[in-house]
Amino acid sequence: MKFSTKEDLEVPIWDVFDSLSDFDGFEKAALRRGAEITRVSEGGNTPVGLSWQVRAQLRGKMRDLVVTLSEHDGPNQILYDVTSGGVKAQFLIELVALSRKRTRMRMELDVRPKTLPARLLMQSAKLARNTLNKRYKTRIAHFAEDLEDRHKRAMKPSI
């Protein structure tokens, strides 16, 4: 099952990419939301290979996830591989510069079941696909607004 959306931001592409590469910030945000997160591996010269073990509440149940950074191609894209039980997912973020100060951010989540119970779970999710898709788009839109707001605050000259 695929979810995809795009948002246009009034932020230069490198600033968006740098914000999306703030792994420490995302770890702290997950902790504030009640997730347990442990960085398993460190990337070498590049962050590719970074890995986290996450325990968080998803769809009303505590779930264990392993998140691995598979691709980190600045400023074009970031790809995460996520594994949880019988489900594998890929989360792709693509960035395109529309102008010097505008960026299009496309986020795609592709979830694939690997076991029979996971297939049953995906079947029930397919019945609620429209609702899930709306929620996904709303969350990404809020995330994009937050990115723009942080950029504006950072660019505001101090008096």
Looking up tokens 């979830």 gives: 111
- In angstroms, the CA 103 to CA 94 distance is 10
pLDDT at 126: 87
**Which residues are bridge partners to 23 per DSSP?**
none
What residues does each domain of the chain span? 2-155
- What's the token pair of residue 42? 């460190």
pLDDT tens per residue, range 7-63: 999 999 999 999 999 988 889 988 998 899 999 887 666 788 899 999 988 777 888
Q: Are strands 51-58 and 61-73 parallel, antiparallel or unpaired?
A: antiparallel
Spacing of C-alpha 29 from chain mean position: 12
pLDDT tens per residue, range 60-97: 788 899 999 999 998 999 999 999 988 999 999 999 99
2-155 belongs to which CATH class?
alpha beta
Could you tell me the pTM of the whole model?
A: 0.86
